[in-house]
A and B are shown apart, each in its own frame.
Chain A
Amino acid sequence: MEQDRIQTLLGGCFNGEPASCSYACPFRVELRSFLKKAAKGRWDAAYKELQTAIPFPAVAAALCAGPCEDACQARTVLGGDPVSVRRIEAAVCEYAKRKAGAAYAIPEKPERVAVVGAGPCGLSCALMLAQKKYQVTVYDRADGWGGSLRTHASFDAFDTDFRLQFAPLKTEFVFSREIGSLTELTDFDAVLLATGAGGESWGLLESRDPGLSSTSDPRVFIAGEVTGAPLMEGMAEAARAARSIESFLQTGSAASAAEVWDRGLACRFAPHPGETPSGAVVPSGAVYTQEEAKMEAARCLQCDCGACMNACELMEKYRKRPPRIATDVQQDGQSRNSVSSASITRQTWSCNLCSRCALLCPEDTDIAGLFQYSREGRVAANLYPPALHAYWLRELEEVERARAAIPGNGAVFFPGCRLSALSPELVKKTYALLQDKLGAGIIADCCGIPAWWAGEKDRFERHIDALRETWTALGKPVFITACLSCEKILARFLPEIELRSLYAVLRELGVTGSDMGLAAAAVFDPCASAEKPEVKEAVRALAAVSGVSVSEYDNGGKCCGNGGHMRLADPALYGSIVSNRSGEREEPYIVYCANCRDTFREAGKDCRHILELLTGVDAGSPTLEEKRKNILKLKEALTGDAPTADPWDRIAVTAPEEVLRKMDALLIPAGDVRRALYEAERDSAGFVDADGRLLVSLDLGSTVIWVLCVQEDGGYRLMDVYSHRMHVREEG
C-alpha cells in the first residue's frame, strides 16, 4: 500500500499527540501527565514532570504569562475557565518534598563550555549542560547570579530554586567578571551568550538561527533575553540551546538538534462532545491548598482527540486509534504473515463506509477512505474473502443485464437499482410523474456502489464506463436521482453528469401525497445525506404536505447498517447497528433510501419510503427473490422485453418462517434454493436418508449452499438451508 496515499487519508489526525496547552508552553511541559499526577496529590511525581522540562520550576510558576492557559481547551472549546496551570505549578513547588536537581550517573565529559551571563537564561543552559557532565563556567559582571531577576521582589525564592537545581552539580561560577571580547574565551570548546536584554553579542546576533541558537561562528550560540525574547521564552530557548551545543560538541554541527515542534498547533483542539464548561477552583490563600490544587488539576480534560472513536459501533468495538488504523492498513498490504498482529481484515470489511466519523473529526481524516483503500488493496492482491460481497456483486450483474434507458427532454430519472428492486410499481409511478411534468426519460441501472464497496476497482470502473456511455447515448441528460448514495458515487466518479435530487425536484413541483396510515413519524436520513441539508429539508416538507406529523430528529449522519455491505463480515455487529438505529426513535421512520427501508423492515421497524407516500404505492416487504425479479419486471415495463424465465422457477418450495429468516440473514434468495433443487433433480444428485429426507448442494463460487428438505405435494418442504465458504478439494 502506498505510504503517501495512507498519509493523505490519515490527514491531520492528531490523536496521541501533545495537547494544545503543551504546544503553547515555552518549555513544552507534558501538562496532561503533570496534571494527572497533581490531581492525585502525587506532588513529587508532578514536580519531576516540571523539572524535566523547566530548569527552574519555581521561577516559571511565578513569572510565566501562562500561554498554556490561553490554549486550554477547557476554555477554548468548552468556554469555561482554563485549568489554572500556574497556580497548580506553584502548589506543586510548595508541596513537593524531593526537589533537588537531577544528577545523572554518567561520566564527566572533557569539553569546556563558557556561558556568558548568569541570569535565568544563562543559568538554564548552564544547568542542562552541567547535568550532561560538561565542564561549564558561567561568567557574570555582577557579583552574583540572577541577572534581570536580582531586583525582583521574590528574588529570594528564585535564588533558592537556583541553588536547589545546581546543588548536585559541578559548575564553576565566575562573578564580577565582565567578558570584553570573545577572544577571552578561546580556551572553551563552545560558548553561549546569554547577556540579557540589550546585552553584548559581538555582531553575531543577526546570524543567529532561531531554531538552533547557533550563529555564523560555529562555536558560539546565543539565547535568552539578548535575542529580544521575553523571559520565559528566553529561558526555554537557552535550555534547548544546550542540546544544540551538545550536538555541536559531539558532531561538529548543531544541526542534529533540530526538532519539529510547531507552536501553531496550540490552536488545534479536540471537539469534547458531552463535556460541559466549569469554573476554576478559587484559592483560599496565596497558594492553593493541597485539596484545592488536586481539585483544580482534576478539571483537566486530558485532551487527546478521539472524537471518531465513539462515532460508530465499529470504532467502539475495535478501539483502534486512527494512526494505528493507518499503520495497520499500510502493513497489512505489505505482507500476509499468518502471525501478523497488524491484521485489520475484519475491521476493514466491517466498516459502513458512511463517513460519519469524518463529520465529527476536527481535521480532514478519512477513515472510511482508509478502509476503502484497504479493501481495494486486498482485492488487488487477491487476499480477501470473496464470499463477503458475492451476493451484491451478483445483484449488480443482474441489474446490468436488465439495464434500460429511455431518452427524455434533457433530464432522466435515475431511480437506482435498490428502489427498482423494492418496487417497480413505485418507480413507474414516479417516472410517470417526472415524464408528465418535466418530459424526463429514465435510466434503470445501478450506480456501481456494490463493486465500489467490495473493493473491486476494475469491476467498478467498468460499470462507471458503461454508465457514462448510456448517458452519452441519451444526449448527456441531467440525472434526477432517488438515492443519495448513487448521487455521492456519481458526483465523485462521473462529475461530468449534472445531478439533481429527486426530492428537491418533487418539492419544487409541489407534489403531495397521503400519509398511508403514518400519523406521526421521524425522518431517518441516510448516511449520504450529511452534506445535503436541502434534501433533508425537502423530504421533511414532502412528508408534512402528505399529512404526516414529522418529529424533530437528526440522526447525525449515522448509517442504517447497510453501508459498505458489511453484514456478512460481522453479522453480530451488523445486528447491533441495525437495532440501535431502529431504536433511536419510537416513531416509525420515513426514509428516502431503498436500502434503509430494506434494513429497517427486515429488523421489524415500521417504516416507509417517502415515495410510497407520494405515489400511494405500498411497496410491501419483497423477499430477496422478489427483489431480483422486480429488476426484470421494471425492464419489462419500460422496454416490453419479457424476462426469460429460469427453468427452476417451476420448482415449488414451501418453508417455515425460521428457515426463511435464516435465508434472509445469509442472503440466500429462494431462487438459489430452487436452482439447487432443480439441478439436483436433473442430475439426480444429492443424498437421501431412510426418513425420506433429501440433502442437496449448489456451488455458487465463493459460497456453497445446502438444502435439507422433504418432497411433498409435487414440491419441496424446506427443513434447513445453510452455507459454507470452504471448498472440498477434488482428489486424484
Chain B
Amino acid sequence: MENKWTCRRCGVPLEKKKVVFEYLNNSMSHELLRCPRCGAVLIPAELAEGKMADAETLLEDK
C-alpha cells in the first residue's frame, strides 16, 4: 500500500516504520505505515489477510 494515508487526528502523512507484533507469546516485526506524531499504526487488508493470517495460523498450530 503506497503512502497516501494521513492520520485523522494529527493531520500528518503516515511514514514507514518497523513495528513489532505479538501473538501467543511470540513476536515478529514488519515495516508498516505509522503516524510519526501519535504513533497510530495502519494495518492494511492485504497484510491482515495475507502474511499476518498465515503467521497467526502457524503460531496457533504449535
Contact = CB atoms under 8 A, between A and B. Distances in A.
Given A345-B62, A694-B8, A728 B48 contact: no
B23 A684 contact: no
A65 interface: no
Contact of B48 (A336, A685, A690, A722): A722
Given A385-B60, A727-B22, 4 more contacts: A343-B62, A687-B40, A724-B56, A726-B22
30 contacts: A336-B62, A338-B62, A340-B62, A343-B62, A346-B61, A385-B56, A388-B60, A684-B9, A687-B6, A687-B40, A687-B42, A688-B8, A689-B6, A706-B43, A706-B48, A723-B48, A724-B43, A724-B56, A725-B56, A726-B21, A726-B23, A726-B52, A726-B55, A726-B56, A727-B22, A728-B20, A728-B21, A728-B43, A729-B19, A729-B27
Interface of B: 4-9, 14, 19-24, 27, 39-43, 45, 48-49, 52-53, 55-56, 60-62
A403 B24 CA distance: 34
A348 B32 CA distance: 34
A731 B56 CA distance: 21
Chain B interface helix/strand/loop/mixed: mixed
Interface residues of A, number: 34
A479 to B, nearest CB: 37
A525 B54 CA distance: 36
B8 A684 contact: yes
Contact of B39 (A686, A689, A722, A731): A731
Interface of A: 336, 338, 340, 343, 345-346, 383, 385, 388, 680, 683-690, 694-695, 697, 704, 706, 708, 720, 722-729, 731
Contacts of A720: 45
A345 B62 CA distance: 7
Contacts of A722: 45, 48-49
B19 A689 contact: no
B21 A729 contact: yes
B40 A708 contact: no
Contacts of A706: 43, 45, 48
Contacts of B39: 731
A724 B48 contact: yes
B20 A729 contact: yes
A689 B4 contact: yes
B41 to A, nearest CB: 5
Nearest to B34: A728
Given A685-B9, A687-B42, A695-B42, A724 B52 contact: yes
A332 to B, nearest CB: 10
A688 B21 contact: no
A694 B56 CA distance: 26
A640 B39 CA distance: 47
Give the residue among A336, A690, A706, A726 with the most B Cβ atoms within 10 A: A726
A565 to B, nearest CB: 15
Contacts of B8: 680, 684-688, 694
B53 to A, nearest CB: 7
The 7 closest A-B CB pairs, nearest first, are A724-B48, A726-B23, A726-B21, A687-B5, A729-B20, A385-B60, A722-B45
Give the residue among B9, B53, B60 with the most A Cβ atoms within 10 A: B60
B41 A690 contact: no
Nearest to A728: B41
A191 B41 CA distance: 85
Nearest to A349: B60
A697 B5 CA distance: 15
A552 B39 CA distance: 63
B6 A688 contact: yes
